[in-house]
Structure 1
């Protein structure tokens, strides 16, 4: 079903035909995006420059569109293994450079300047790690600034003085949008800039913009949008940047069923960013209040597991048999599964759920044990041949 807002119905169609197909990967590295960066630089009106390098010397580039007084800054992959939004911002830049969406005035580039830094942590991306090559979590480096990548981000914030800042991440696949909700495919946060979580004008604007973005995305995700916890973290860049007076918005890309490369979250990042951009220019965000922001369900950790098997009979042939639920999660980036939980799993959901009624397993389950053989056996038993 098309989006009821014609602008976003058209934007979704345009995204389907113009997004970068080579970026349909769970993990992106600099070699994946370099051809895209080069093509954007060579074939569009986007201004571009190398603004610095990573610890290991990989260039970090910034793309700019517009020259207006409202300044928007977005950055991705501060954590190297969180690459969904990198594909999304490159899609977004392509869309904006090729066509003026209907929700923007023709002169929008005279009203606003958009800066995008894709892949702030290319070393971590190459290693498939959250941390930089120095072993440092860059998002805990806002105070010490021990990483060149963190120093570079702070320099950009000080130089550009953004009106709105988009801090784009991935979250683990096990968050739920509220208790018993769907997987949190998108989660938002307007981070606090002080332990008392005071809401000043810029933070209020961030919450209003989020409420509008949530309203636009609810067509695709009526039950799959969460609100991230706003506990203040003085070492984190989102909180520190909110303290500069920028309306700072965290977007976390999460899991969607049967979507291993998070392409649903990728598309919805584009839609959310565009909704925020247009709302900032039109002022429509002012139609929302704090109640609309807090109406977004909590982003609930551990609401999901990868696989939930219910009513499985355990009978090792030596001890009394019993019936139990067994939950499995993937082991980091490995394709293997390990046993996460044994017992009564009511209240927890599985991205894949299997009714194991009538299936008998002849080994006692052990937490943390590799469970690939168990999973293959149960699937074989419940799946018609």
Structure 2
């Protein structure tokens, strides 16, 4: 009996010690800095990157000035140097890479903002920087596909989608990423992308401005500890950005893709966090979304450094709505069409596409009528309720056609058809209420 009581006393003492240690660790946890990071971003951001179409030569001088451990770790097919920036000395390794698709530049801008953040001091964030750098070692690879960035195109110089090259390794850039995974063996990896702006967060009118995914490593989409940790960190990041874009966060499509790097990085043992930058109204150059990336990534790093992510459950992650396709760039509702003297009500769904110009330093927009009819289950990033308005063509308003320099071919159009340029008028009693010119509302 005495031995039994001694055993209970020992167990109770150990429990108290463990609880005290846990409480002590909890007390050491830092507050959530998301709001403060959001507020200081304008001051901290890299000022030379203001548009998405920048090139390798624009970031090399920025990299070479960084006060961190900078190394050339390889070259692209066209022999552009690929850099790694290393900072921190903690046991948990985090590898972050951006722009493996050359035209997906939002996160690259955010990474340079993060570099500037880690250069600062005495600004109220020293404790956060210390926590991350003491507990983690960060490895950044901005612009993994510099040849694609040169052309502002998705694929590499050899025409291969690098994110479908994780089996054959026919791109030097993809081979380099596999080498980094093998050598560093990072516990966490951040795969940073842009997605189309017409994805909605669930079946809603809200653009999926930021989308996350803990990628599946097999076709049955199982949850092992590696994938679970990625999911839990995503829950922390989702909480952070929901403050600024409530309802605009989505979950990227989950089916396993055996050729993709994200899925294979998860298979190779690193907790893979996919971030997709989508669209936000009037944020053409994605400067607001860049800010959200800045906040989300730093929140993710803090969560990993403090291991606060462990509290999250799968149900929280699954509550993030899936990305869906319920958006047009422009949706005109209830427009009246005249067919053989009869009025027919149709909605008009318009899609806009960017086309590179000036050596991929700028772009022009082209439009197309993508759908006509009942589009009541869809939304538009921009919308017009045209109830009581009639669709008219420039052929009936030659003075307006001349003013807006409408081509002879467009000015001769007598009706609005699918798969044609979205240029037409909305009128009432022959008075022009709206001019739609190449999908733009005038």
Question: Could you tell me the TM-score, scaled by structure 2's length?
Answer: 0.80
Distance in 2, matches of 1:189 and 1:352, equals 28
CA contact (8 A) 1:103 1:278 kept: no
CA contact (8 A) 2:250 2:323 kept: yes
CA contact (8 A) 2:118 2:129 kept: no
CA contact (8 A) 2:33 2:299 kept: no
Could you say what secondary structure the match of 2:115 adopts?
Answer: helix
The equivalent residue for 1:86 is 108
How far has the Cα of 1:226 moved from its partner?
Answer: 0.3
Distance in 2, matches of 1:369 and 1:331, equals 13
Cα pair distance change 1:29/1:190, threshold 3 Å: same
**Deviation string for 1:101-152 (max 9, x for gaps)?**
3663735423211011001111111112111010000000000000011001
Cα pair distance change 1:136/1:361, threshold 3 Å: same
Distance in 2, matches of 1:288 and 1:26, equals 34
The equivalent residue for 1:273 is 297
Distance in 1, matches of 2:243 and 2:311, equals 19
Describe how 1:167-206 pairs up with structure 2 within 5 A: 167-206=191-230
After alignment, is 276-285 or 330-339 more displaced?
Answer: 330-339
Distance in 2, matches of 1:107 and 1:26, equals 31
The equivalent residue for 2:51 is 25
CA contact (8 A) 2:200 2:326 kept: yes
RMSD: 2.2
Does 1:54 pair with 2:73?
no
CA contact (8 A) 1:313 1:321 kept: yes
CA contact (8 A) 1:81 1:129 kept: yes
Distance in 2, matches of 1:103 and 1:295, equals 32
Question: Could you tell me the TM-score, scaled by structure 1's length?
Answer: 0.92
After alignment, is 277-286 or 105-114 more displaced?
Answer: 105-114
The equivalent residue for 1:352 is 382
Could you say what secondary structure the match of 1:331 adopts?
Answer: strand
Could you say what secondary structure the match of 1:335 adopts?
Answer: strand
Cα pair distance change 1:276/1:150, threshold 3 Å: same
Describe how 1:1-385 pairs up with structure 2 within 5 A: 7-40=33-66, 44=67, 46-99=68-121, 101=125, 104=128, 106=130, 108-300=132-324, 302-315=325-338, 318=340, 320-333=342-355, 334-362=364-392, 363-374=414-425, 379-380=434-435
Distance in 2, matches of 1:93 and 1:115, equals 11
How far has the Cα of 1:10 moved from its partner?
Answer: 2.1
How far has the Cα of 1:328 moved from its partner?
Answer: 0.6
**Deviation string for 1:186-217 (max 9, x for gaps)?**
00000011111111111111000001110111
Q: Greater Rg, structure 1 or structure 2? A: 2
CA contact (8 A) 2:205 2:378 kept: no
Gaps of 5+ in 1: none
CA contact (8 A) 1:314 1:364 kept: no
CA contact (8 A) 1:342 1:365 kept: no
Could you say what secondary structure the match of 2:384 adopts?
Answer: strand
Cα pair distance change 1:375/1:226, threshold 3 Å: farther
Distance in 2, matches of 1:28 and 1:357, equals 43
Could you say what secondary structure the match of 2:272 adopts?
Answer: strand
CA contact (8 A) 2:63 2:70 kept: no
CA contact (8 A) 1:27 1:82 kept: no
How far has the Cα of 1:11 moved from its partner?
Answer: 1.5
Distance in 2, matches of 1:196 and 1:23, equals 41
Could you say what secondary structure the match of 1:252 adopts?
Answer: strand
After alignment, is 189-198 or 363-372 more displaced?
Answer: 363-372
Distance in 2, matches of 1:53 and 1:384, equals 44
Distance in 2, matches of 1:62 and 1:136, equals 23
How far has the Cα of 1:287 moved from its partner?
Answer: 1.3
The equivalent residue for 2:20 is none
Cα pair distance change 1:66/1:129, threshold 3 Å: same
CA contact (8 A) 1:163 1:245 kept: yes
After alignment, is 18-27 or 207-216 more displaced?
Answer: 18-27
The equivalent residue for 2:25 is none
Distance in 2, matches of 1:313 and 1:102, equals 61
Gaps of 5+ in 2: 1-30, 356-363, 393-413
How far has the Cα of 1:66 moved from its partner?
Answer: 1.0
Aligned residues: 374
How far has the Cα of 1:6 moved from its partner?
Answer: 6.1
Cα pair distance change 1:71/1:351, threshold 3 Å: same
